[in-house]
Amino acid sequence: MKQLIYTSIESHHITFDEIEEIIKIAITENYKHNITGMLIYNGIYFLQVIEGDEVSVLQLFENLKKDLRHKDINILDLRTIEQRDFENWNMGAITDLKSITEVIFKVNGSYTFIPLHYNYEEALEILKKLTHLL
Ligand SMILES: Cc1cc2nc3c(=O)[nH]c(=O)nc-3n(C[C@H](O)[C@H](O)[C@H](O)COP(=O)(O)O)c2cc1C
């Protein structure tokens, strides 16, 4: 099984309705392909983890790269895992800035959420801690 974490930046300002739509489709599609994961959006940046079998993860990532709603897609890593970290969520999503900021502060002592600066371990820790709010 594979786990992939990437960051990206919105291409234009994403409205509340658009993010709701992305999350809704993600949950439905991921359920079909047995993908689990978590998405954070703070109004500018995305940080997402996706996990599942290799073919499904890579196929989804191809779709994500083509999606014009975000840009500057940067893979933190693609790793082989024995067990899922996000097994309960076809796509857990946190878009509440206050919650994100609090968790970021606990993990790396900064209030600024700039996912490009995180390494895989930090990103994974943030994503896992945020599941506690779901
Ligand atoms: C930030 C972001 C996260 C997304 N996450 C997912 C996801 O987890 N699963 C998914 O199927 N689509 C997700 N999408 C939508 C895909 O990019 C794509 O639109 C979807 O897979 C449908 O692709 P298709 O129209 O080529 O079939 C996401 C889009 C964005 C912008």
Residue appearing with tokens 């959006």 = 41
Give percent of the chain with pLDDT exceeding 70: 100
| pLDDT tens track for 80-127 | 999 999 999 999 999 998 999 999 998 888 888 889 889 999 999 999
At residue 78, the pLDDT reads: 98
Pocket test for ligand 1, best of 60, 86, 89 (most atoms within 8 A of CB): 60
Q: Could you tell me the maximum CA-CA distance found in the chain, to the nearest angstrom?
A: 38
CATH value at residue 115: 3.30.70.100
The pLDDT score that the predictor gives to residue 116 is: 86
Shortest-distance Cα residue to atom 24 of ligand 1: 63
Ligand 1: list residues with CB < 6 Å.
22, 25-26, 29-30, 39, 46, 48, 50, 60, 63-64, 67, 69-70, 91
pLDDT in tens, 47-76: 999 999 999 999 999 999 999 999 999 999
Of 22, 114, 20, 124, nearest to 68 by C-alpha is: 22
Q: What is the pLDDT of residue 110?
A: 87
Residue numbers of the domain that contains 43: 2-131
Cα 18 to Cα 13: distance, rounded to the nearest angstrom = 10
Domain count, the chain: 1
